[in-house]
């Protein structure tokens, strides 16, 4: 049977009187980035999400990071519309690493990092951690976590099943959610497995409902809703269907993820032309 660690058996996680985890303005700015990244996972490429590199414009990264910290939604939106999506992913990662505490409170982390539940299945632990998050986290904190889980799920699902690099994202994102220390090294595989299961279950456990409406997708969380406009823009759908798109990551003058593509029109075969 599942055992609650002794450190949290009689604890009710109260957040009243504490500084909010993320402000409403910063949450909306982060939302703009997450919407843009999730909308363009196929265009950006799963291997480049949250990955720093020489091709990134560091000035743009810093501008976006400052805008996230200030909650400057118009600035973030304008830069995303200009094509700075890879830079935005790095800015978002940097923003999250600067949080004073991990996304999952230490007391809830005990379900994963403690040794009292080593015989409990990964699925059960993941469900219980998400359940505690849903019950105990303030609204903005929970919504931020839910949106990040949803983005990670979309990126992982877009990764080729036979490509090992597609599985490195949960490992690189793990420190944002958990405080993994030296004593946890022997259990890191199990910890990562639980984290991946949490990502998989989050859309249902956290009441995240992605229901397409026309070209839009609505993300709802416990009665609140966010509009994710044009997850796949019509012009991008046409581009993917009718062209071969090859991305160049390090050309001179590189400006974002969608500004340097080579479009090769598909030449029909003789029987197709007929």
Beta carbons within 8 Å of 231's beta carbon, 6+ residues apart: 35, 38, 39, 215, 216, 217
**Residue 134 to residues 84, 105, 145, 198, Cα–Cα distance (Å):** 33, 12, 10, 12
The residue ranking higher by pLDDT, 240 or 92, is: 92
pLDDT tier, 129 (very low <50, low <70, confident <90, very high otherwise): very high
The residue ranking higher by pLDDT, 61 or 6, is: 61
* Residues present in the chain in total: 274
Residue 233 pLDDT > 90: no
- The CATH architecture to which 21-229 belongs is Orthogonal Bundle (1.10)
| Average model confidence (pLDDT) across the chain | 72
Domain extents for the chain?
A: 21-229
Residue 237 pLDDT > 80: no
What average pLDDT does range 97-109 have in this prediction?
92
Alpha-helix residue ranges (DSSP H) falling in 165-226: 168-177, 188-205
pLDDT for position 48: 62
The residue ranking higher by pLDDT, 118 or 234, is: 118
Helix (H, G, I), strand (E, B) or coil at 55: coil
What average pLDDT does range 9-33 have in this prediction?
72
pLDDT for position 80: 94
What average pLDDT does range 127-136 have in this prediction?
94
**Residue 63 to residues 56, 88, 95, Cα–Cα distance (Å):** 13, 9, 12
Radius of gyration over alpha carbons of the chain, in Å?
20
pLDDT tier, 160 (very low <50, low <70, confident <90, very high otherwise): low
What average pLDDT does range 174-184 have in this prediction?
87
The residue ranking higher by pLDDT, 149 or 223, is: 149
What average pLDDT does range 188-200 have in this prediction?
92
What average pLDDT does range 208-224 have in this prediction?
39
What average pLDDT does range 80-99 have in this prediction?
92
Helix (H, G, I), strand (E, B) or coil at 84: coil
| Verdict on whether the full-model pTM lies above 0.85 | no
């Amino acid at each position: 049977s599942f055992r609650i660690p002794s450190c949290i058996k009689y604890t009710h996680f109260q957040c009243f009187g504490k500084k909010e985890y993320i402000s409403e303005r910063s949450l909306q700015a982060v939302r703009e980035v997450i919407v843009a990244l999730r909308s363009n996972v196929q265009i950006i490429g799963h291997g480049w999400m949250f990955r720093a590199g020489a091709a990134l414009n560091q000035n743009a990264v810093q501008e976006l990071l400052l805008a996230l910290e200030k909650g400057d939604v118009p600035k973030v939106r304008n830069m995303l519309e200009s094509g700075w999506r890879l830079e935005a992913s790095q800015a978002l990662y940097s923003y999250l690493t600067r949080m004073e505490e991990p996304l999952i409170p230490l007391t809830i982390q005990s379900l994963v990092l403690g040794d009292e539940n080593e015989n409990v299945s990964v699925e059960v632990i993941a469900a219980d951690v998400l359940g505690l998050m849903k019950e105990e986290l303030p609204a903005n904190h929970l919504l931020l976590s839910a949106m990040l889980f949803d983005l990670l799920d979309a990126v992982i699902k877009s990764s080729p099943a036979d490509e090992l690099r597609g599985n490195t994202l949960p490992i690189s994102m793990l420190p944002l959610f958990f405080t993994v220390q030296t004593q946890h090294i022997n259990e890191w595989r199990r910890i990562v497995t639980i984290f991946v299961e949490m990502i998989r279950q989050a859309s249902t456990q956290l009441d995240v409902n992605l229901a397409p409406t026309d070209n839009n997708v609505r993300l709802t969380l416990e009665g609140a809703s966010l509009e994710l406009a044009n997850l796949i823009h019509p012009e991008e759908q046409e581009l993917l269907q009718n062209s071969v798109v090859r991305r160049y990551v390090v050309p001179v003058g590189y400006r974002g993820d969608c500004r340097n593509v080579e479009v090769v029109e598909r030449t029909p075969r003789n029987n197709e032309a007929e």
